[in-house]
Amino acid sequence: MSVPKQKFTAEFKYEAVRLVRTTGKSCAQIARDLGIPPHYVVRWKQQQDNQTAAGRPAFTGRGIPALSPQEARLKELERELEIARQERDILKKALAFFAVEGWNHDRHA
């Protein structure tokens, strides 16, 4: 039987990393104090350092990488562009259809 994976809130992770930074204790000692495996605190500290260096918030949850405001805007614009392309393609097909139908209608009239 497998053990269910522990889940920790972003606040818990922030607090664990804050304790490492402010108390002078090691990640292993903070982990022991909190009753969790030491590699969790090490990983959370690395994630927070990496995200902070990239200008992103850390610990967004569910394995979803946090996006900077610029990255979020770029993603939104790419989504809007894809929608505009799809609409354009539909209009092109409709124009071609009606052009052929109009030509056939004029020819048989």
Residue at 69: amino acid letter:
P
H/E element holding 9?
none
Residue 72 has a pLDDT of 78
Residue 36 has a pLDDT of 92
- Calculate the dihedral angle through the C-alpha atoms of 49, 12, 22, 39, rounding to the nearest 10 degrees: -60
pTM of the predicted model as reported, rounded to 2 decimal places? 0.50
Residue 98 has a pLDDT of 86
Q: Looking at the predicted structure, is the pLDDT value of residue 66 above 70?
A: no
Task: Please list, in sequence order, all residues whose beta carbon lies within 8 angstroms of the beta carbon of residue 78, skipping any fewer than 6 positions away.
Answer: none
DSSP state of 26: -
Q: What is the mean pLDDT of residues 38-52?
A: 88
